[in-house]
């Protein structure tokens, strides 16, 4: 796993490439061991820096995980406003927010690459252990709903299907549907998973 690149280059901690080295190390470790199996200490060792420097640059392991996804936006920041306001309108806000990010052609390539990495079932459980715990679970708790993990897994099962068919597999008519039609189609489903009765 250790490449030795940082050691042979002999740069000082904090030099311009240190941040990139830490990110590369984080990506390699999350991809090999998953979110749960990766520690800040291991990432620091792989990058040849002190663990304190990893915290200094990236904050928590969750922050480092999100940074390693190389998304065009921080999904936690984008989704935070979804929790503001009436919980009965949360599904509509969630879908509208998500579609605005995905429908932006400047974002598409990076998002598709990230989703493919997260959903790759041959790799570590980056979606189940990482993205759900770091991004989707906290949104459920911010919404104040009961059974947040169970409900957010149901929400994810619908949202992932929409993303996959609309953007990655380009299934018609979903691929060409105006965003507001997609919101109107799926909001009742997602709202039921958020606040409706559970069997």
Q: How far apart are CA 155 and CA 152, in angstroms?
A: 5
**Radius of gyration of the chain from Cα atoms?**
19
CA dist 172 and 189 (Å) reads: 20
Single residue of 117, 142, 168, 179 touching a second copy by CB under 8 A = 168
Residue 53 lies near a second copy (rule: CB under 8 A): no
Kindly tell me which residue out of 7, 141, 144, 181 binds a second copy, with binding defined by CB under 8 A: 181
Distances (CA, A) of 91 to 34, 51, 193, 198: 29, 39, 9, 16
Total of residues contacting a second copy (CB under 8 A) = 38
Residue 35 exposed, middle or buried by CB count within 10 Å (0-12, 13-18, 19+) = buried
Which range of residues in 13-21, 66-74, 98-106, 169-177 is near a second copy by CB under 8 A? 169-177
| Site for a second copy, residues 119 to 158, rule: CB under 8 A | 119, 121-122, 125, 127-128, 132, 149-150, 153-154, 156-158
- Please, which residue, 45 or 110, has the CB nearer to a second copy? 110
Contact in structure between 191 and 95 (CB atoms under 8 Å): no
CB of 77 to a second copy, least distance (A): 24
Kindly tell me which residue out of 9, 41, 116, 141 binds a second copy, with binding defined by CB under 8 A: 116
DSSP string covering 12-27, please? PTTSTTHHHHHHHHHH
Binding residues for a second copy, rule: CB under 8 A, are 112, 116, 119, 121-122, 125, 127-128, 132, 149-150, 153-154, 156-162, 164-166, 168-174, 181, 184-185, 188-189, 192, 198-199
């Amino acid at each position: 796993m250790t490449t030795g690149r940082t050691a042979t280059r002999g740069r000082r901690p904090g030099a311009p490439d240190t941040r990139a080295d830490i990110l590369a190390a984080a990506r390699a470790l999350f991809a090999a061991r998953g979110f749960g199996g990766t520690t800040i200490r291991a990432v620091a060792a792989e990058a040849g820096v002190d663990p304190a420097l990893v915290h200094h640059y990236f904050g928590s392991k969750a922050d480092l995980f999100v940074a390693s996804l190389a998304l065009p936006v921080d999904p936690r920041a984008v989704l935070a406003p979804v929790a503001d306001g009436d919980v009965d309108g949360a599904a509509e806000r969630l879908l509208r927010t998500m579609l605005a990010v995905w429908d932006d052609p400047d974002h598409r390539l990076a998002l598709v690459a990230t989703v493919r990495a997260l959903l790759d079932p041959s790799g570590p459980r980056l979606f189940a252990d990482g993205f759900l715990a770091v991004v989707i679970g906290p949104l459920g708790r911010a919404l104040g709903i009961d059974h947040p993990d169970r409900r957010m897994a149901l929400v994810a099962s619908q949202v992932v299907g929409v993303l996959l068919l609309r953007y990655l597999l380009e299934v018609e008519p979903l691929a060409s549907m105006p965003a507001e039609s997609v919101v109107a189609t799926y909001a009742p489903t997602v709202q039921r998973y958020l606040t409706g009765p559970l069997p």
